């Protein structure tokens, strides 16, 4: 597949070559403020990931890799001793940010292997090698997003209404997105699509981020509450569902934003195709679903909206960040290497051979 040139409207994470720092758009401030932050401090990037200034599995992996590169350049410029050991420590620090998204561990493992291959060279050679690797990870993500969009756009009928959950757009990746790349490229190809976006409590990624992105693109979008999704599907207001993923296991279970499972059940009951769009860096062939840690976040996120308390402060609350969608509920998985259909345990392995 020859890559087409598409306009990049939104970037969540990027490399600033003049300062040798990683920069990101603080998604916590969107859609009301577009705050850009740049840093070469792994501790600052650690906070950005944990606090979800940067979120979305591919974006987390990319910012972690770029943070290692930025830190290596900082150390090389100051001629500090023990550069290899300090970089190794920073890799382990970032590994502890969020436990579920597989791209984080995939990207950091690549950076770790690169560090090991140049460990005994000069500080400048270490920094340059790590920078090259981090930029490869970022650019590979952009290319993967475009390919996902190209493959996925073929599955979208002209005039279709697409339901999506959370934000699997440019703000969750290096550019274009995964699920939203399908929407973007279908739109660029002239398909008259419409999108229904869930609000995505508790942090409202759908209302704040997905809507913001689609409005920028000019794609018609309608916002609904999370608990409206089943009825909207039942009313046949949706032609297909496309979501992203934070991890896909070798047996085809999809770990994605909490609420995805309920949408998949409703789609199955009403014979609506349910597609998952994700790069191969999200597919974890080493584990089954019982091995995956589902992140639990601060219960205060559930008890507030945009920082404002909506219930009794001392009431108990659960805050699982992700849920699990069974393979039999998934119509297909759209990757940069093609569309994968069931049986997933057999066919997911095959795409790594392409």
Contact in structure between 175 and 142 (CB atoms under 8 Å): yes
The span from the CA of 331 to the CA of 321, in Å, is 23
Name 248's bridge partners. 254, 283
Q: Which element (helix H / strand E) includes 248?
A: strand 247-249
Strands 332-335 and 338-340, by their bridges, are antiparallel
The span from the CA of 313 to the CA of 298, in Å, is 13
The span from the CA of 106 to the CA of 121, in Å, is 24
Task: Please name the residue ranges forming H helices in the chain.
Answer: 42-50, 57-78, 83-95, 102-118, 123-153, 179-188, 205, 211-217, 229-234, 260-269, 344-351
The span from the CA of 250 to the CA of 61, in Å, is 20
Cα torsion through 200, 211, 39, 132, rounded to 10: 100
Cα torsion through 68, 73, 79, 80, rounded to 10: -20
Report cis status (omega within 30 of 0) of the bond before 343: yes
Q: What are the structure tokens assigned to 150, written together?
A: 């190209």
Report cis status (omega within 30 of 0) of the bond before 31: yes
The span from the CA of 5 to the CA of 91, in Å, is 34
Name 169's bridge partners. 177
Which one of the listed residues 40, 246, 291, 326 is annotated catalytic? Answer: 246
Strands 161-164 and 194-198, by their bridges, are parallel
Q: What are the structure tokens assigned to 110, written together?
A: 């690549």
Active site residue 246: yes
Active site residues: 246
């Amino acid at each position: 597949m020859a890559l087409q040139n598409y306009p990049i409207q939104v970037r969540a994470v990027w490399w600033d070559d003049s300062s040798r720092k990683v920069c990101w758009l603080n998604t916590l401030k969107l859609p009301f403020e577009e705050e850009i932050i740049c840093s070469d401090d792994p501790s600052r990037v650690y906070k950005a990931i944990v606090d979800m200034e940067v979120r979305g599995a591919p974006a987390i992996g990319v910012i972690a890799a770029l943070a290692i590169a930025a830190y290596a350049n900082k150390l090389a410029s100051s001629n500090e001793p023990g550069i290899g050991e300090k970089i190794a420590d920073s890799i382990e620090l970032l590994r502890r940010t969020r436990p579920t998204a597989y791209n984080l561990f995939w990207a950091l493992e690549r950076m770790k292997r690169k560090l090991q291959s140049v460990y005994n060279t000069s500080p400048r050679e270490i920094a340059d090698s790590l920078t090259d690797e981090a930029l490869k990870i970022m650019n590979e993500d952009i290319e993967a997003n475009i390919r996902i969009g190209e493959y996925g756009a073929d599955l979208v009928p002209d005039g279709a209404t697409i339901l999506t959950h959370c934000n699997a757009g440019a703000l969750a990746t290096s550019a274009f997105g995964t699920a939203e790349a399908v929407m973007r490229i279908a739109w660029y190809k002239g398909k008259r699509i419409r999108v229904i976006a869930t609000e995505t409590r508790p942090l409202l990624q759908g209302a704040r981020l997905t809507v913001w992105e689609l409005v920028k693109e000019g794609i018609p979008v309608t916002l609904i509450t999370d608990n409206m999704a089943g009825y909207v599907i039942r009313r046949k207001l949706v032609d297909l569902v496309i979501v992203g993923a934070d991890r896909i296991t070798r047996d085809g279970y999809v770990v994605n934003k909490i609420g995805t499972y309920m949408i998949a059940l409703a789609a199955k009951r009403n014979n609506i195709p349910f597609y998952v769009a994700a790069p191969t860096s999200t597919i974890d062939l080493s584990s089954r679903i019982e091995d995956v840690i589902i992140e639990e976040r601060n219960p205060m996120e559930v008890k507030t909206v945009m920082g404002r308390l909506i219930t009794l402060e001392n009431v108990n609350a659960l805050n699982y960040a992700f849920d699990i969608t069974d393979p039999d509920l998934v119509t297909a998985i759209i990757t940069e290497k093609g569309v994968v259909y069931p049986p997933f345990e057999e066919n997911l392995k095959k795409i790594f051979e392409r």
